[in-house]
Structure 1
Amino acid sequence: MLQILFAVAFSAAPLTLYVPPVRSLNLFVQSIEVFVRESEPVSRRTFFRLRLGLQRIFSRLSRAFR
């Protein structure tokens, strides 16, 4: 049982290298928030145009199958 515990502990140790420190993580989260805030108007326009296009396609398909 002790061997399994050591195997799990030493296999998980390299994974800690991929986790950034908390001070770096705060900067990362802040930059993601800024990116989302700045891209919101563009994504709203894109979503509206995509929805309008799909409505037109589905309305023409429903007319074709009548």
Structure 2
Amino acid sequence: MDMRNEAIRINMYYQSFTNFPNANIPPTFKNIMIRDVKGKNAEIAVEMRGLPEIPLHNIVLENI
């Protein structure tokens, strides 16, 4: 697959790009497995951004 920006993005700072009605409720990202992903031409392969007070937990990348 030909990619342009990030191939994989996990970003808890979603307020910077959307107008969700419950944007004041902090997100929780945990127990995520991403595997067997192939691509080319991505500027950034993986971007993960947690919050200082609610970090990412148990994120597994396999065969990326």
TM-score range (shorter-chain normalised) is under 0.3
Which structure shows the bigger proportion of residues in helix conformation? 1
Higher relative contact order (CA 8 A, sep 6+): 2
Provide TM-score, normalisation by structure 2. Answer: 0.18
Provide TM-score, normalisation by structure 1. Answer: 0.18
Larger radius of gyration: 1
